[in-house]
Amino acid sequence: MKMSQLFTRTRKEAPADEQSKNAQLLIRAGYVYKEMAGVYTFLPLGLRVIDKISSIIKSEMDRIGGVQMKNSVLQKKDAWEKTGRWDDEIVDVWFKTKLQNGTELRLAFTHEEAVTNLMKDFISSYKDLPAYPYDIRTMFRNETRAKSGLMRGREFYWKALYSFSKDEEEHNAFYEKIKQAYINIFERVGLGDKTFLTFASGGTFSKYSHEFQTVSDAGEDIIYIDYDKNLAVNKEVYTDEVLADLGLSKAELKEEKAIEVGNIFSLNTKFSEPIGLRYKNEEGKEVPVIMGSYGIGIGRLMGTIVEELSDEKGIVWPKSVAPFDLHLISLAKNEEAEDLMRELEKAGFEVLFDDREDVSAGEKFADADLMGLPFRVLVSQKSLDAGGYEIKSRSQDDTQILDKEELLDYLKKVYEMEI
């Protein structure tokens, strides 16, 4: 895509009211636009990142048997009253609205009730189980103070999978599978080294839940990490009893600030019982379905990547989620650059071509660093005289001159190694 087609621009300054590094960089680089605190418009570059992260998540959910659907935002009272979560005392982040006839509706912040209720139409026998529907969509939380940029949104992009199993054994087997899928996801988006499976408080029905916590100074959680065992404990369950139970020792644990980028819960019959989602088992007995709930905040994940993988010049996207593979810069050589763009696109690469005229080389380089695509390719009289194009990785300082064939070979090698 040519930059002239992309209508956004970089900005020298972030908005004064934006404290967090992720929002500052994403706004300055033209990825998001702030509508109000906690509500961001995803500009074309930002949407491309969201889509890349979403398809990584989708592929991991599909691989373990997940099936994508699309729930509604508007929620009516019925099912939520049965679980007690319609009550403002229990859930204080509802956005409320009304039909013209006065019927009270609210905007979904999650879908356990909705999906459990819907499943009553489809699950009646053990033959209908298991089922693993998931949804990737916008949700809403009426946060009193929305801060931290994309970390805590009033309107946020979220993946939720709900599992429906016939018994604990089937549930536990899936729980282990999705735990691994989550590990894969954080690895694939470039946060593998910094993200830890973390024991957190369970609920009425389970001893623990699991969070995935990414170590970061921008984090709002405190976790204790055993780096040898690659495990962590959330401060909320950091007691002698829990540590003994998990076979962890205080001496081996290091305290860190971290961002919760995902969580997985065993729900047992917490929702199926009150909503009445029951099935007939092999013995002909009616019993409630065993459930689990598994979330990932996609905007938050994008924000976390920016917090952790950026430098003083700007964002440094991992190849897997960058909006484009290459930042192609022309210095008064637009024709040659356009030919190269066509070749690169034909080979399957996604190219952002800075075709702006009367913008200085320095400005173009600074923009490329701020926007953070994995590679920068320069076409100039100097590069052509030297025999081709200058390529530089965003994360390294050295450059090299390659001719067209060498460039294509180099990139193919780098991107195949990645996959």
Q: List residues near a copy of itself by CB under 8 A.
A: 1, 5-9, 11, 33, 35-36, 39-44, 46-47, 50, 65, 67-76, 95-101, 105, 107, 114, 118-119, 121-123, 128, 131, 133, 137-138, 140, 142-144, 154-155, 164
Q: How many CB atoms lie within 10 A of CB 105?
A: 15
DSSP class per residue in 321-377: T-S-SEEEEESS-HHHHHHHHHHHHHTT--EEEE--SS--HHHHHHHHHHHT-SEEE
**Angle 96-101-103 from CA coordinates, rounded to 5°:** 40
Residues 111, 116, 117, 123, Cα dihedral to 10°: 150
CB of 178 to a copy of itself, least distance (A): 15
DSSP 282: T
Residue closer to a copy of itself by CB (options 133, 295) is 133
In the bound state with a copy of itself, the residue whose beta carbon lies nearer, of 164 and 182, is: 164
- Residue with smaller CB distance to a copy of itself, 40 or 238: 40
Q: How far is the CB of 66 from a copy of itself (least distance, A)?
A: 9
Question: Nearest distance from residue 39's CB to a copy of itself, in Å?
Answer: 5
Q: Which residue number, 140 or 389, has a Cβ lying nearer to a copy of itself?
A: 140
Count the alpha carbons within 13 Å of 105 in the hemisphere toward its beta carbon: 13
DSSP string, 304-318: HHHHHSEETTEE---
CB of 155 to a copy of itself, least distance (A): 5
Nearest one of 199, 269, 263 to 230, comparing CA atoms: 199
Q: Which is nearer to a copy of itself, 234 or 330 (CB)?
A: 330
Q: Residue 271 carries which DSSP code?
A: T
The reply to whether omega before 15 is within 30° of 0 (cis) is no
Minimum CB separation from a copy of itself for residue 365, in Å? 20
Q: 391 has which bridge partners?
A: 377, 400
For strands 39-42 and 32-36, give the pairing. antiparallel
Residue with tokens 């605190």: 37
**Residue closer to a copy of itself (CB basis): 25 or 253:** 25
Least CB distance to a copy of itself at residue 366 (A): 18
Closest to a copy of itself by CB, 88 or 228 = 88
| Shortest spacing between CB 349 and a copy of itself, in angstroms | 17
